[in-house]
Amino acid sequence: MSDGGAVAGPDGELRCPWGLSTEDYVKYHDEEWGRPVHGDDALFERLCLEAFQSGLSWITILRRREGFRRAFADFHIPAVAAFTDADAARLLTDEGIIRNRAKIDATLANARELAGWSAGELDGLIWSYAPDPATRPVPRTIGDVAAVTDESTALAKALKKRGIRFVGPTTAYALMQACGLVDDHLAGCLVRRQLADARA
């Protein structure tokens, strides 16, 4: 029985256990999760998807991601900010996304807020909360991985203060993990090794 540490996949490489649970997760784990993401639109997309994930499994969102991109104009902030009431009504009937009125309304409101920010401002704000990697212990089991940190709490507070909705400390930490602000790949995981090599 696994102790929650990195486990070998079919190719013999060690991975975080969740990264082997479905084919979709293998690709996402190996190619995306924990790798640095920059750019206002790209981070807006991740903010939105993490908010939609609240209360659901991430695989539910991952399998609908292309549907979300089609529905929300590839998360181009000015385009989403220009969505009308008719667009909001359309989204509530779109089976390619999660049809949650509160989350849809928050996405549109956040786009309108962010449309008034300077280029690079969202990127700069989010990344200003990335902790020094040297101060973070390497997780050895899934039980060592936090759900909330001081940094994610501070990031959520900063975003809320700037008018961004539906991003609490847990959602903010999931964003930090997914976008590479922190590296929560387990000790021995091939992606942790790749990220370390990239930093070097």
How far is residue 57 CA from its own chain's centroid?
13
Query: Per the structure block, which two tokens stand in for 65?
Result: 């991601």
Straight-line distance from the first to the last Cα atom of the chain, in angstroms, rounded to the nearest whole number: 34
Tell me the one-letter amino acid at 71: A
Q: Is 31 a catalytic residue?
A: no
Q: Is 113 a catalytic residue?
A: no
Residue whose structure tokens are 């899934």: 142
Q: Is 28 a catalytic residue?
A: yes
Catalytic residue among 18, 32, 58, 113: 58
Q: Where would I find the beta strands (DSSP E) of the chain?
A: 7-8, 14-15
CB atoms within 10 A of CB 75: 22
Tell me the one-letter amino acid at 61: I
CB atoms within 10 A of CB 174: 21
Catalytic residue among 25, 50, 127, 151: 50
Catalytic residue among 28, 33, 127, 129: 28
Catalytic residues: 28, 50, 58
